Structure 1
């Protein structure tokens, strides 16, 4: 450690730049770890729910799905343990406490950290009405989120579908939402491929 500190330059501006780069890299790694933790908790909840349903009509399908989810969870736990200082026991305690909290709450979408990298894509229907050719004006937008994995980095792609209305015929125009690999899911194709 002392040997490494002797190799550092004496220029304060260069040292500040090095510190800023290290802080940015640390923030990126923290966001990735947080996203992994959230995904692990989601998979644990899903496995617990499926284990409760295992004695129903289609129990063979559920058992196969449980096995697949447990494999994915195992891979994520290995990746998280390599990158995290938190032990698996602490993660189990956190998951157990969130299990009790989430069982009382109705189904809702998982919250993604505000620190996660976000990308916004706007689907604009244009400036001319397809029905009459009149000028369109912006009325609002519908925003949905897709959680995707890009080169081992979690990123939220925000898809904003702009709503416009024609001044001539008062028709509302909006492009359709892009299709998803799993309908109603936040997971993108890259994340599903990674899992």
Structure 2
């Protein structure tokens, strides 16, 4: 009870996180010293993992996109030139990461005039989540999730964007966050009304 609800509970949590980081560094050093394959595949498809180091196999969702690359030895035998026939295939998988990238979307609104009545015609500009702002909805969502869910400060996001060739000042990121929060406020107000309308609420003891 004291560890969970006492005055020093937050201090204990911080110390635990620091110990986890140190342990992680030690485990990385061990993995670097033993760069053995993750598992050994037998003919029956069973994987045997070394007892010294057990590695967890990544669990990939069925919704994850897949790309199939086929390596074909050809139609004729390289040794005698006779036709080859397919008897089977060996399939291996690697999990690849497609890095996110920034792009500039240009919207050109053509102006046209009527030669008969001299009327000027032009489509209306599409709406933006932030008025007169350059950030698109996908970029704003990424910034908010990175800050409030992944706990990545805005100055670090600035460094990440700079590596991708786009310099976004921290002051601009702050403005975008504030404006995006304002845009989402009606939704959060509706969620709050739904939550506080319940007969019972469960919350932590944070002041």
Same fold (TM over 0.5): no
In terms of fraction of residues, the more strand-rich structure is 1
Larger RCO (alpha carbons 8 Å, 6+ apart)? 1
In terms of fraction of residues, the more helix-rich structure is 1
